[in-house]
Structure 1
Amino acid sequence: MENIKHSHVEVKGLKLHVAEIGSGSKAVIFLHGFPEIWYTWRHQLIAVANSGYRAIAFDFRGYGLSEHPAEPEKEIIYDLVDEIIGLLDALTISKAFLVGKDFGAIPGYLAAAVHPERVDAIITLGIPFILPGPDSLQIHQHLPKGFYITRWREPGRAEADFGRFDVKSVIRNIYTLFSGSEEPIAADDQEIMDLYDPSAPLPPWFSEEDLETYASLYEKSGFKYALQVPYRSFDTEGGLSDPKVTVPALLIMGEKDFVCKFPGIEGYIRSGAVKNIVPNLEIIYIPEGSHFVHEQFPEKVNQLIIEFLDKQRI
């Protein structure tokens, strides 16, 4: 970890926090989800760098140590596509591999669809290709009203829920809840934070030191941007129709990932319908994998990532 170099790079008028290790000729850009941050890729950064790649993870705008845009309430997930390409430009990288987790998979796929000349291949964890906009698999329309996405999309509700706790407790609660196989759904008289059992230990692969690191970064950024992007902006039309991701792609899913229970998601993946949009897609399931499979089983995920990257270099 001490060999990871940290810097700030200006992209689209905002200073982004960048963590980097390795000096290979091929770059791998890691895209975090929520409640994650660059640090979520700590195991992958080191392994990929040791395999001869230039490994880069950054905090999306409004997250962690990166600057907030002036009007976060106007931001949409498509802004992160421009941010990824802008980061490549700022680092003078002509073409890179992308690795996206959770919502970070979505701008990664979109970048590959819109700018295939800048993307060698893409790997995603936990999320298949989903096109943001009003018709995106109609997921939101079929979710229970107490579902965490539904609750967090409601202006002010998550702010009031989270505000009852310190930042460290919020991160602990979400990490513990989201490590299970059941979807986080609150009753009418509950908020999402109420689902957390105070006697529940942290997942065995997530240390108190890890929690402290996450908490310190979210104490810097807060949750304002994270609630806007992805949750409150996911239905915003981005002007992209009939997308295709033609670059080689790998989807890694944990069998115990609660995302598999989202309406239509498992059928979309297992039926192969996702390959209508991502034709060169390989899908691998990890039997006991949770939503945080890359932190839970880092050696297995590192192996899958590196084998896939190496295949593209042959």
Structure 2
Amino acid sequence: MDQISHRFVQVNGLKLHVAEIGLESSPAVIFLHGFPEIWYTWRHQMIAVASAGFRAIAPDFRGYGLSESPAEPEKASFADLITDTASILDALAISKVFVIGKDFGAIIAYPLALLHPEKVAGIITLGLPFMPPGAFKHQFVLPEGAYPLRWAEPGRAEADFGRFDTKTVVKNIYILFSQSEMAIASENEEIMDLVKPSTPLPSWFTEKDLAEYAALYEKSGFRFALQVPYRSLGMAGSEVQDPKVEAKTLLIIGEKDYVLKIPGMDEYVRSGEVKKYVPNQETIYVPDGSHFVHEQFPDQINQLILTYLHNNKHLAAV
């Protein structure tokens, strides 16, 4: 971890934090986090790819971690994060990059390739496939009480989270998202009520890890994170009409990832329908893998990533 350096880049009126490791002359890999994550979620992968001869970059999205938040987070959308990612690459003088996105980081990765194909050498996503236009309005309709719908209601998550300190909120979310069933609350309960105080952290997530996350969410709060992704889901996948990502892509998903329980999601991936949009995709399922498969089984995921990167290294040449 001491080998990872940190810098701030000024893009689109905000000072954004970027963690990095590896030689600037090496092929670049940018890691895009999900929620409740920050750059730190990629700690295992960054070191592995740098050791294998790549340059690893992991930003905190605007409003997350050490990055600045816009003055009016409630006006933000996925489009802002797509633009920020392209601008970070420009600021670091990276002309072509492999993009690795986890969770809603995938909702940034694919449109980045659609809008800036010249910048993207290839894509790996974890836990979420390509999202077709209007995905959560038409195709993957969430059940009532599901956590994304609850958190999309202005004020509801704020009241729910506000009953606990930041560390407890992050701990509860990690516990919930590590399970094989989606967090769904009944009419008279909130999402935080679904975790008993005595429930331990997942075995692969330490108290030190929790402290790292909690410290940065103490700084950033959850205001922006609730806007993007949860209050922007209706816009997910709408950046390009008739989208088709030509880049070679890899989807890694845990067999026990609750995302597969979203109505229609598992069939969308397994039937090959997803290949209408990403024709050059390979999908790898990880037995016993959770939504945090990259933290749960870092050695296995690192090997999958490195195999992909080495097989496609020639695509990063410009």
Q: How do 1:2-151 residues align onto structure 2 when only pairs under 5 Å count?
A: 2-23=2-23, 24-131=25-132, 133=134, 137-139=138-140, 142-151=141-150
Report what 1:227 is aligned to: 226
Partner of 1:158, secondary structure, is helix
> Structure 2 vs 1, CA of residues 100 and 135 (structure 1 numbering), >3 Å: closer, same or farther?
closer
> Structure 2 vs 1, CA of residues 223 and 26 (structure 1 numbering), >3 Å: closer, same or farther?
same
Contact 1:130-1:136 within 8 A present in 2 as well:
no
User: Can you list the C-alpha shifts for 1:105-136, whole angstroms capped at 9, x where unaligned?
Assistant: 11111101121110000000000000454765
Contact 2:132-2:277 within 8 A present in 1 as well:
no
Partner of 2:8, secondary structure, is strand
User: How many Å separate the matches in 2 of 1:268 and 1:239?
Assistant: 20
Q: Name the TM-score, length of structure 1 as normaliser.
A: 0.97
Contact 2:9-2:16 within 8 A present in 1 as well:
yes
Q: Which amino acid counterpart does residue 145 of structure 2 have in structure 1?
A: G
Contact 1:81-1:111 within 8 A present in 2 as well:
yes
Report what 1:313 is aligned to: 313
User: How many Å separate the matches in 1 of 2:92 and 2:132?
Assistant: 28
User: How many Å separate the matches in 1 of 2:217 and 2:133?
Assistant: 25
User: How many Å separate the matches in 2 of 1:136 and 1:243?
Assistant: 17
Report what 2:210 is aligned to: 211
User: How many Å separate the matches in 1 of 2:137 and 2:130?
Assistant: 10
Report what 1:266 is aligned to: 266
Q: Which amino acid counterpart does residue 100 of structure 2 have in structure 1?
A: V
Partner of 1:65, secondary structure, is coil
User: How many Å separate the matches in 2 of 1:27 and 1:224?
Assistant: 31
Report what 1:174 is aligned to: 173
User: How many Å separate the matches in 1 of 2:138 and 2:242?
Assistant: 14
Q: Which amino acid counterpart does residue 87 of structure 1 have in structure 2?
A: I
Partner of 1:214, secondary structure, is helix
Q: Which amino acid counterpart does residue 277 of structure 1 have in structure 2?
A: Y
Partner of 2:49, secondary structure, is helix
User: How many Å separate the matches in 1 of 2:158 and 2:94?
Assistant: 38
Deviates more, 1:280-289 or 1:75-84: 75-84
User: Can you list the C-alpha shifts for 1:179-204, whole angstroms capped at 9, x where unaligned?
Assistant: 01011010111000000021211100
Across the aligned residues of Structure 1 and Structure 2, the Cα RMSD in angstroms comes to: 1.2
User: How many Å separate the matches in 1 of 2:137 and 2:50?
Assistant: 35
Deviates more, 1:293-302 or 1:232-241: 232-241
Partner of 2:199, secondary structure, is coil
User: How many Å separate the matches in 1 of 2:8 and 2:136?
Assistant: 36
> Structure 2 vs 1, CA of residues 133 and 79 (structure 1 numbering), >3 Å: closer, same or farther?
farther
% same residue: 63
Partner of 1:190, secondary structure, is coil
1:240: how far off? 1.9
**Where in structure 2 are there 5+ consecutive unaligned residues?**
none
User: How many Å separate the matches in 2 of 1:123 and 1:137?
Assistant: 25
User: How many Å separate the matches in 2 of 1:64 and 1:133?
Assistant: 29
> Structure 2 vs 1, CA of residues 90 and 216 (structure 1 numbering), >3 Å: closer, same or farther?
same
Alignment of 1:197 with 2:196, yes or no, is yes
- Count of matched residue pairs: 312
Report what 1:249 is aligned to: 249
Q: Which amino acid counterpart does residue 107 of structure 1 have in structure 2?
A: I
Deviates more, 1:70-79 or 1:49-58: 70-79
